[in-house]
Amino acid sequence: MKRVMLVGDSIRMNYCPIVYMKLSDLCEVVYPEENSRFAKYTLCEFGHWVEKYGKPDIIHWNNGLWDVFRYDGEHILTPLDDYLADMKRVYARMEQTGAKIIFATSTPTSPYDADRRQEDIVEYNRAVTDWLKTKDAEINDLYSFLKPHVFEYISEDKVHLNKYGVREVGNRVVEVIKKHL
């Protein structure tokens, strides 16, 4: 059986149970119990996750919502140039495993989310996906998938998926991963 590793922030944590349930008969699904947070955290911890869970055949990964977080309402946690540099380093570490890498864009948040701006999410997604298009990575555009349904699928906290969003995004992730099993 192939080993699929799910890496990402709390959005990944939202859809993990769906992916596990729907793919566990076809592959081994592993993921860190902790939130993968921002790109630099993933960079630091990825090697530990590979040691703990084993070398993956497929990695479905996202980082971004923490990076665009405006911790004081004004200043972004990770400036775009730093984010892109961190993401390139994360990709290089993942690439060393020989796994097929699937990058999931950051999902939209509610327009009423005071801590993240949609234009930042779009800009960060664009920067990393433009770079990844030059690599052997697949892009799972969860932003575009979720954007038309943001009021249907985002919870009251303005960031995370509600039960409908969990189901729909989880099913989307399953579809994309299945192509590589």
pLDDT tens digits for range 104-128? 999 999 999 999 999 999 999 999 9
| Residue 73's pLDDT band (cuts 50, 70, 90) | confident
| pLDDT tens-digit map of 130-176 | 999 999 999 999 999 999 999 999 999 999 999 999 999 999 999 99
Question: What is the structure's pLDDT at 133?
Answer: 96
Share of the chain above pLDDT 70, in %: 100
> 106, 131, 129: which is closest to 119 by C-alpha?
106
Question: What is the structure's pLDDT at 57?
Answer: 98
Question: What is the structure's pLDDT at 174?
Answer: 98
Tell me which of 32-36, 71-75, 116-120 is least confident. Answer: 71-75
**Mean pLDDT across the chain:** 97
Cβ atoms of 19 and 177 closer than 8 Å:
yes
Q: Reduce the DSSP state of residue 128 to 3 states and report it.
A: helix
Supply the pTM of this predicted model. 0.97
CB proximity list for 103: less than 8 A, separation 6 or greater: 61, 62, 91, 128, 129, 132, 137, 138, 139, 140
Q: Reduce the DSSP state of residue 166 to 3 states and report it.
A: helix
Cβ atoms of 23 and 102 closer than 8 Å:
no
Mean pLDDT (whole number) for 20-26: 97
Question: What is the structure's pLDDT at 90?
Answer: 98
